[in-house]
Amino acid sequence: MIRDDSSDKAVDRKSDIMVTHNIEDASVEEKANPSKVADEETAKYAGAPIKVSDADNKRLFWKINRRILSIMLVTYFCQSLDKGTLNFASIMHIKRDAHLGGQEYQWLGTILYMGILAGELPQNFLLQKLPVAKFLAANVFCWGAVVTCSAASKNFASLMVVRFLLGFFESSVQPAFLIITTMWYRRSEQAVLTSLWYCMTGVQLMVGGLLAYGVSHYTNGVIFPWQLLFLILGLATIVLSIAIALFLPDSPMAAKCFSEDDKRLMVERIRENETGIQNKQYKRYQVIEALTDPFSWCIFALIVVANLVIGGLGVFSNLIISQFGFSLLQTQLLNIAQGAVTVIVMIGSATVAQKWKQTCITMILWTIPAAVGTIVIVIVKPNSNNAGGLLIAFYCTQFFLAQGNMIISLVTRNVAGQTKKSTIITMTFVGWAAGNMAAPQIFQTSDAPRYIKGFVAHLCIYGTYIALVILTRIILMRKNVKKRAAAEAAGLSEEIDHQQAFDDLTDQENPNFRYVY
C-alpha cells in the first residue's frame, strides 16, 4: 500500500486519489469489462485508483523529464531550426543566388505550410493508430533527409519542392507532442511544459544566429553559405531521428526504461486529468462531438488568427531588423537577443497563467506589448539615431509568440476522449498551417523595406484575436456551470473519485471533467 498524508491537488480543485491499491494487475471489474478502460495495454496498469505520495510524484516527474522532456526539447529545437533556415538564409543572399524575384521568397514561406496542411490529416490519423515515438522518429529522419537535400537546391522550383516536403514531414511533430504530453504529465503541469518546448523557438534563434554568423564567413567555397547551413542542419537532424527511435518510449506502459511499479505509478499520477492515455479505436461519435463543439471552432479560429502574425514575424524578422540600419552580421547576432526575449516571454506567460490559473486573461495581457511595439514600428521612421529603440519595439512584438503555446495548453487540458482529441488536434494544426501559410503574404515586396501595410494588418489582427479569446473564455465558463448544475441535479458530490478516468469518455460525457481557462 502506498500511503501519504498530504493532499494531491488537481488543477482546479483539491481531490485525493483515495482508493484500493492493486499493484499487480487491473481490477476484476476492468478485466470483465475491458471496454471500460482506454485499451488493453492501459488496462494492465490502470487498476483501481491509488494515492500517489508527494515524494513519489516529485521523483517520477523528474524521471520523466530526464527521459521524455529532454528528447522533446531537442526535437522541437531541431524542427524550429530547420524550419527557420529560410529566415537565416534571407540575409545570406539566397534571393540572389537562387534567382528569386517578385513574391517568390514569400512563396517559400507559404509552401512550407501547404506541406504541413497536406500532412495534418494523414499524420494525425496514423498517430492514433501507430506507436507514437517510432512514428515520430520516422518523420524526423525524413525531414532531416529533405533539409540535407535542400543544400543541392539552386532555383525557385527545387526550393519549393523541398520546402513542401519539409512541411509534410514536420506536420507530425506538434500533434505527437500533444499526445506525448497528455500521456506523461498532469494537467497542472502541462501549460509550463508546453511552453518549455515552444521556448525552443527562441533557443533556435540564439543558436541558429550564432551558427548562421559562423557560416556567413564561409565565402568563395564550392557551395553558397546558406547551402552549407542546410547541409549541417539536415545531417544533425538525421542523427537525432536515430536517438528518438532508440530512447523515446511509445507510452508509459511500453517504457522498458522504467520499472513495473514506476510505470503503474506514472499511469496513476495522470488519472486526475480525466483525459485518458491512449485508445487506438476510432469512435465516430467523438468526431461528431468535436465538430459540433463551439470550443473546437474557437481554438481553430484562435490558432489561425494568431499565426497570421507569428508566421509573418518568423519569416521576415531578419529583413525587418536589418532595415532598422543593422548590417548582415549584426542582424545574425541580434537573433541571440531576439531568442532570449522569446524564451522569457514564453516561460513568463506560462508561469503567470499557472499561478493565476487564468490562461485566457494572460493571453490578452500578452497581446498588449505586441500591439504597442507594432504601433511604434508603424509611426517611427528608421534613422541612425533610433535603431536601438525600433529594435526594442520589434522585440515587444515577440510577446505575441507566446500565444501559440497558450492556445495549445487550452487544447491539452480541455479535451478528453482519444478520437475527439485527435480530431481537435487535427483541426488545431490545420488552422496553424493555414495561418502560417497566409502570413508571409501579408508582407508584400512592394511594401519593403518597412512593410507598413503588413504591420497595420497586424494591429487589426490583434483586435480580432482579443475578441476570440474573450469568447473562448465565456464558452468554457458556461460549460463548467452546466457541469456543476447537472451534478447538483443528480445529487452528486463535487468531490471527484476518478473512477472513470481511463474509460475514454469525452470531456462532455464525463461528469467528473472540469474545464480550465
CB 91 within 8 A of CB 218: no
Confidence of residue 4 (pLDDT cuts 50, 70, 90): very low
Integer-rounded Cα radius of gyration of the chain: 24
How do residues 381-411 score in pLDDT, each as one tens digit? 988 889 899 999 999 999 999 998 899 989 9
- Say whether 498 sits in a helix, a strand or coil: coil
Number of residues assigned to the chain:
517
Torsions phi, psi for 416 (to 5 deg): -130, 160
Burial code (b: 16+ CB inside 10 Å, e: under 16) for 123-133 equals bbeebbeebbb
Residue 337 has pLDDT above 60, yes or no: yes
| Host domain of residue 391 | 51-276+283-489
> Which has the closest alpha carbon to 271: 68, 48, 58?
48
**Partners of residue 59 on adjacent β-strands:** none
Concatenating the DSSP letter of every residue in 430-495 gives: HHHHHHHHHHHHHS-GGGTTTTHHHHHHHHHHHHHHHHHHHHHHHHHHHHHHHHHHHHHHTT--SS
Helices (H) and strands (E) in the chain, counts: 23, 0
Q: Which of these ranges, 34-43, 77-86, 129-138, 457-466, has the smallest mean pLDDT?
A: 34-43
pLDDT for 75: 95
Q: How many domains does the chain have?
A: 1
Confidence of residue 17 (pLDDT cuts 50, 70, 90): very low
The mean pLDDT of 68-72, rounded to a whole number, is 94
CB 153 within 8 A of CB 98: yes
Distance CA 348, CA 354 (A): 10
Residue 374's domain is classified under what CATH number? Answer: 1.20.1250.20
Contacts 24+ apart (CB under 8 A), 323-327: 323/382, 323/448, 323/449, 323/450, 324/382, 324/387, 324/390, 324/391, 324/394, 325/382, 325/383, 325/384, 325/387, 326/387, 326/391
Distance CA 350, CA 410 (A): 12
For residue 76, being part of any structural domain is answered with: yes
Q: Answer with the residue of higher pLDDT: 34 or 197.
A: 197
For residue 467, being part of any structural domain is answered with: yes
Residue 304 has pLDDT above 90, yes or no: yes
> How much of the chain exceeds pLDDT 70, in percent?
87
CB 106 within 8 A of CB 153: no
Q: Which of these ranges, 10-14, 100-104, 274-278, 316-320, has the smallest mean pLDDT?
A: 10-14
For residue 61, being part of any structural domain is answered with: yes
Confidence of residue 37 (pLDDT cuts 50, 70, 90): very low
Distance CA 158, CA 232 (A): 19
CB 114 within 8 A of CB 167: yes
pLDDT for 30: 34
> Which has the closest alpha carbon to 288: 387, 396, 196, 423?
423
Confidence of residue 90 (pLDDT cuts 50, 70, 90): confident
Mean pLDDT value across the chain:
84
pLDDT for 457: 95
How do residues 160-214 score in pLDDT, each as one tens digit? 999 999 999 999 998 899 889 888 998 888 878 888 888 888 888 788 878 888 8
Phi-psi region of 276 (alpha: psi -120 to 50; beta: other; left: phi over 0): left
For residue 263, being part of any structural domain is answered with: yes
Confidence of residue 479 (pLDDT cuts 50, 70, 90): very high
In the 3-class helix/strand/coil scheme, how is 11-67 assigned residue by residue? Answer: CCCECCCCCCCCCCCCCHHHHHCHHHCCCHHHHCCCCCCCCCCHHHHHHHHHHHHHH
> Which has the closest alpha carbon to 173: 116, 229, 239?
116
* CA dihedral of 263, 268, 270, 273, whole degrees rounded to 10: 150
For residue 513, being part of any structural domain is answered with: no
The mean pLDDT of 82-94, rounded to a whole number, is 80
The mean pLDDT of 100-114, rounded to a whole number, is 85
Q: Which of these ranges, 14-18, 159-163, 165-169, 462-466, has the smallest mean pLDDT?
A: 14-18
pLDDT for 219: 77
Those residues with Cβ within 8 angstroms of residue 111's Cβ, 6 or more apart along the chain or in another chain: 160, 163, 164, 167
How do residues 114-143 score in pLDDT, each as one tens digit? 898 899 889 988 988 899 999 999 999 999
For residue 18, being part of any structural domain is answered with: no
Whether residue 34 is preceded by a cis peptide bond, meaning omega within 30 degrees of 0, is no
For residue 39, being part of any structural domain is answered with: no
How do residues 367-377 score in pLDDT, each as one tens digit? 999 999 999 99
Q: CA distances (Å), 159 to each of 55, 82, 273, in order? A: 52, 14, 44
Distance CA 437, CA 174 (A): 16
CB 12 within 8 A of CB 483: no
Cell numbers at 139, concatenated: 518523420
CB 467 within 8 A of CB 363: no
For residue 45, being part of any structural domain is answered with: no
Q: 185: which DSSP letter?
A: S
How do residues 239-291 score in pLDDT, each as one tens digit? 999 999 999 999 888 888 888 888 888 888 887 766 666 666 778 899 999 99
- Residue 81, amino acid: L
Residue 1 has pLDDT above 70, yes or no: no
pLDDT for 196: 87
